[in-house]
Amino acid sequence: MSEEYDEKLTDEVIKLGLDLGIDKIGIADAERAEEPPHGHGDPQNIVRGAKVAISLVMAYPDGTIDCDHTDDLIHGGVYVHTQNALYQELSRIALHIAKFLEKKGYNATPIAPELPRDEKRFVGAISHRFIAQLAGLGEIGHSNLFLTKEWGPRVALATVVTNAPLKTGEPDLIDRVCLKCYECVERCPSGAISRDNYPPYNFNLNKCFWGIQGWVRLTKVEAPPKDWVEARPTALIMVPKYEQKYPQIKEYQEWIERMGDFPYCSICMQVCKVGKKAKIKKEDNR
């Protein structure tokens, strides 16, 4: 943690985030975020002299995650629209916090939940889940999703990077949130997650693309083909070839054009026992 911090300003930022509707907020030491996994960017590339990265968490309503995702109209009408609304809300609140810090005389910028990516390497300007873990808000689980104690992976994340001297949290939930139940491994249709190794080394991005981009559902082929799995830098270079082979993929592309980028598969989020446990607890409290 940074030696010198402004406790009053830290409390003000946390209160502002919560007042604006954030479900959970934490602060990560930007120096610790210098070497994020998978080649994502360093907060210092965004705000020179960045001291901290503020992590913002908003939970999905359970009904959105537990709806019938095999029905395209429900998936698109409920899940995709709720995700878009959460992203907009997070972006709005991150902007408010950045402007608040600017008024206090610091540099700050919001980093939206849905980052533009280098599509070949599939990396963005920052890893929200890595920042959230450093801030002590939860743990990157075996599924490679970010898990909170309260909602499991049923959350969306955004970040504010700033040179304000805020008090940082500690990543003290590592190995304490994920139950290692391997439900995510068993239920992933494309075999993208392995039991072996720790995240991120147990995750095959190309195999996940086959599921998350809708190819499993639209082609009815669960196991991604060998050339797809082995494509480098990522399987995205194979999309034109497979679009020709499976013309029904055009349906997905048309949806994307209409609704923006969205995941076609969220099974690892739906089945995670941490998220389900939190949901059951909520129901027991009624």
**Contacts to ligand SF4 by CB under 6 A:** 141-143, 147, 178-184, 188-190, 192-193, 208, 211-212, 265-268, 271-274
CB 163 within 8 A of CB 173: no
CB 98 within 8 A of CB 54: no
Closer to ligand SF4 by CB, 33 or 188: give it. Answer: 188
Closer to ligand SF4 by CB, 121 or 149: give it. Answer: 149
In sign, the C-alpha dihedral spanning 121, 124, 129, 131 is: positive
| In the chain, alpha helices (H) | 7-19, 62-66, 72-74, 81-103, 128-134, 183-187, 205-212, 215-219, 226-230, 239-245, 249-259, 267-271, 273-284
Shortest CB 249 distance to ligand SF4, Å: 16
Enter the tokens of residue 284.
């027991």
Closer to ligand SF4 by CB, 32 or 276: give it. Answer: 276
Closer to ligand SF4 by CB, 124 or 211: give it. Answer: 211
Is the peptide bond preceding residue 200 cis, with omega within 30 degrees of 0? yes
- The 3-state DSSP class for residue 245 equals helix
Q: How many CB atoms lie within 10 A of CB 89?
A: 18
Is the peptide bond preceding residue 233 cis, with omega within 30 degrees of 0? yes
Shortest CB 62 distance to ligand SF4, Å: 15
Shortest CB 226 distance to ligand SF4, Å: 17
Q: Which residue is nearest to ligand SF4 (CB)?
A: 211
Closer to ligand SF4 by CB, 57 or 212: give it. Answer: 212
CB 135 within 8 A of CB 174: no
Shortest CB 151 distance to ligand SF4, Å: 12
Shortest CB 45 distance to ligand SF4, Å: 28
Closer to ligand SF4 by CB, 51 or 154: give it. Answer: 154
Shortest CB 264 distance to ligand SF4, Å: 8
DSSP 79: I
